[in-house]
């Protein structure tokens, strides 16, 4: 097929008939079929918003067409597919264990099952069907299940998010393509294969994860829920198994550690067992809510009704040198109480597939570095915890919220403006200045007016700030070598919690990488 890039289509003419005519004119021949490879929006000129496409096009004589069209954006497309096989020589006697069923653990389990390794997945939380009910009960009653909540349970924290799949990672091995194919095969929208900013939505993602689980089971994998790994069996610097729920042993010389960044108790246990770790930089801040229509109109002008909910990405460097940036933007979504420890509170964003809720929200976060905690291993983790304790206290157990004007004036909010918080879980008026160190508040107050110059109304006085956004990424890296092994032989750190991913897609890709490493060493 012939690859054609940078095909510009006016949003009012985005239909099959026009695309056929456009491609035929560009290639100077009749085309027989086409397939979308990429699709993005160019909204720089709000009076002429365009879709930018990349296509694979079928024609009768490819070589002749290429000779007639000597352009960089027209060329013969290469077949792109992901390949994996077992090349290891060491017989693996016990089934591999995967700790955690977030994206990293699920995709590692999927590929290991495909190769015949029959992994056992240990998940401290509940399966999706039960977890959804538990989380819904938490939103209404504020009664927290410590092992099954927004952070823990089948599918990981991403299950109650926007289901965003965009990543800046280069995909030279076609692992990302494989991840998306698995998602689509199990019920995700086919458009994720080509959209520039693909997302699944939390409502659809839950069904997709159930299908992926059932596929893994059909290939020989096994899931054990409500099964928290509470210790690791290590002999002669080698893993030989795990302790589950402080009650029984499970033997294996291969353990994949896909725990997620909220498994703080596990980090402490790993440190006790001599697993090499180091602190890393991360970011903390707030969620901010605006009317969805305001964001959409600012981004797309009068065309916003045709284009659906808009996302944004904002960055700013303060005079002090701190970076402030938007993170995990959720168009037309909710802000959710994402707590996982008693008497602590953090928030996250969540959107359904349609992204049609009244507000759009995003995290606005400020970078913190290991120097802020004297490079202490658990300095960042305990900093997160301290913020979450203060948030819980400031909100009297509910999500603490404050209007932007009140935040600037260091005043507890007493009344809402036009922006009504759209939350899952209750909220209460608060003063977020009482939660953060002064340098975090100063950075946010410097950045938000700057963002208001880029998005009309972003710094409106009644924009709602909600705290705290503390789980942007893991504050710790579980060190691994070029063979993906930790300092303990047989123990494979994997995904976001281990410090090697930053979202659903990169976590899933890392899970595949771990499978490749295992399959290059072992056989069944």
Tell whether 445 and 336 lie within a shared domain. Answer: yes
Tell whether 266 and 285 lie within a shared domain. Answer: no
Q: What's residue 171's pLDDT?
A: 81
Tell whether 337 and 363 lie within a shared domain. Answer: yes
Q: What's residue 166's pLDDT?
A: 85
Q: Any idea what the CATH number is for the domain that residue 18 is in?
A: 3.30.70.2700
Query: Residue 167 to residues 104, 469, 509: CA-CA distances in angstroms?
Result: 15, 20, 11
Distance CA 340, CA 148 (A): 8
**Going residue by residue through the chain (524 aa), what tens digit of pLDDT does each one get?**
999 999 999 999 999 999 999 999 999 999 999 999 999 999 999 999 999 999 999 999 999 999 888 889 999 998 889 999 999 999 999 999 999 999 999 999 999 999 999 999 999 999 999 999 999 999 999 999 999 999 999 999 999 999 999 887 778 899 999 999 999 999 999 999 999 999 999 999 999 999 999 999 999 999 999 999 999 999 999 999 999 999 999 999 999 999 999 999 999 999 999 999 999 999 999 999 999 999 999 999 999 999 999 999 999 999 999 999 999 999 999 999 999 999 999 999 999 999 999 999 999 999 999 999 999 999 999 999 999 999 999 999 999 999 999 999 999 999 999 999 999 999 999 999 999 999 999 999 999 999 999 999 999 999 999 999 999 999 999 999 999 999 999 999 999 999 999 999 999 999 999 999 999 999 99
Tell whether 28 and 99 lie within a shared domain. Answer: no
Distance CA 181, CA 276 (A): 35
Q: What's residue 167's pLDDT?
A: 83
Residue 82 lies in a domain: no
For the residues of 304-318, what is the DSSP string, one character each? HHHH-SPP---EEE-
User: For 222-275, where are the E strands, in sequence order?
Assistant: 222-224, 229-235, 238-244, 248-251, 255-257
Residue 154 lies in a domain: yes
Tell whether 148 and 221 lie within a shared domain. Answer: yes
Residue 81 lies in a domain: no
Residue 443 lies in a domain: yes
Tell whether 464 and 480 lie within a shared domain. Answer: no
Residue 170 lies in a domain: yes
Residue 84 lies in a domain: no
Are the CB atoms for 306 and 11 separated by under 8 Å?
yes
> What is the arrangement of strands in the sheet containing 491-493, beginning at the earlier edge strand?
222-224, 120-122, 97-99, 255-257, 491-493
Counted domains in the chain? 3
Q: Which domain holds residue 457?
A: 281-469
Query: Residue 299: helix, strand or coil by DSSP?
Result: helix
Count the alpha carbons within 13 Å of 129 in the hemisphere toward its beta carbon.
3
Tell me 402's DSSP state: E
Q: Any idea what the CATH number is for the domain that residue 498 is in?
A: 3.50.50.60
Tell whether 288 and 152 lie within a shared domain. Answer: no
Distance CA 88, CA 515 (A): 12
Query: Residue 164: helix, strand or coil by DSSP?
Result: strand
Tell whether 512 and 430 lie within a shared domain. Answer: no
Domain boundary among 423, 452, 469: 469
């Amino acid at each position: 097929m012939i690859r054609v890039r940078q095909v510009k289509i006016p949003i009012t003419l985005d239909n099959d008939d026009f695309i056929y005519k456009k491609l035929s004119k560009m290639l100077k021949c009749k085309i027989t079929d086409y397939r979308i490879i990429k699709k993005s929006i160019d909204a720089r000129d709000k009076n002429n918003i365009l879709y930018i496409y990349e296509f694979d096009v079928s024609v009768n004589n490819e070589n002749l067409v290429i000779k007639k069209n000597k352009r960089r954006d027209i060329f013969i497309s290469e077949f792109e597919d992901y390949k994996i096989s077992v090349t290891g020589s060491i017989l693996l006697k016990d089934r591999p264990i995967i700790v955690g069923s977030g994206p990293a653990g699920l995709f590692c389990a999927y590929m290991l099952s495909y190769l015949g390794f029959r992994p056992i997945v240990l998940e401290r939380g509940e399966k999706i069907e039960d977890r959804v009910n538990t989380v819904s009960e938490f939103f209404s009653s504020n009664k927290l299940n410590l092992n099954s909540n927004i952070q823990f349970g089948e599918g990981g924290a991403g299950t109650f998010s926007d289901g965003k799949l965009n990543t800046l990672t280069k995909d030279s091995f076609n692992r990302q393509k494989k991840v998306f194919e698995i998602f689509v095969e199990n019920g995700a929208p086919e458009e994720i294969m080509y959209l520039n900013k693909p997302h699944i939505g939390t409502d659809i993602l839950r069904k997709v994860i159930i299908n992926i689980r059932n596929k893994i089971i059909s290939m020989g994998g096994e899931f054990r829920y409500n099964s928290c790994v509470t210790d690791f069996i290590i002999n002669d610097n080698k893993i030989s198994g795990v302790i589950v729920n402080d009650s029984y042993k499970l033997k294996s010389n291969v353990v994949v550690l896909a725990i997620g960044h909220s498994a703080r108790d596990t980090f402490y246990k790993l440190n006790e067992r001599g697993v090499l770790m180091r602190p890393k930089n991360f970011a903390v801040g707030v969620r901010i809510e605006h009317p969805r229509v305001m964001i959409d109109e600012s981004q797309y002008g009068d065309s916003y009704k045709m284009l659906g909910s808009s996302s944004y990405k904002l960055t700013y460097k303060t005079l002090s040198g701190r970076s402030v940036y938007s993170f995990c933007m959720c168009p037309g979504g909710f802000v959710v109480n994402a707590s996982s420890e008693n008497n602590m509170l953090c928030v996250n964003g969540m959107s359904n597939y349609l992204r049609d809720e009244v507000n759009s929200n995003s995290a606005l976060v400020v970078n913190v570095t290991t120097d802020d905690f004297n490079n202490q291993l658990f300095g960042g983790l305990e900093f997160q915890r301290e913020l979450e304790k203060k948030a819980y206290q400031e909100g009297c157990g509910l999500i603490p919220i404050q209007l932007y004007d009140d935040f600037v004036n260091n005043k507890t909010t007493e009344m809402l403006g036009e922006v009504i918080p759209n939350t899952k879980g209750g909220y209460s008026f608060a003063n977020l200045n009482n939660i953060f160190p002064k340098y975090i508040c100063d950075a946010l107050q410097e950045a938000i007016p700057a963002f208001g110059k880029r998005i009309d109304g972003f710094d409106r006085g009644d924009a709602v700030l909600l705290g705290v956004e503390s789980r942007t990424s893991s504050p710790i890296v579980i060190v691994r070598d070029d063979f993906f092994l930790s300092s303990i032989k047989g123990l494979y750190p994997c995904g976001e919690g281990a410090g090697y991913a930053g979202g659903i897609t990169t976590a899933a890709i890392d899970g595949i990488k771990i499978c490749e490493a295992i399959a290059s060493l072992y056989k069944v």
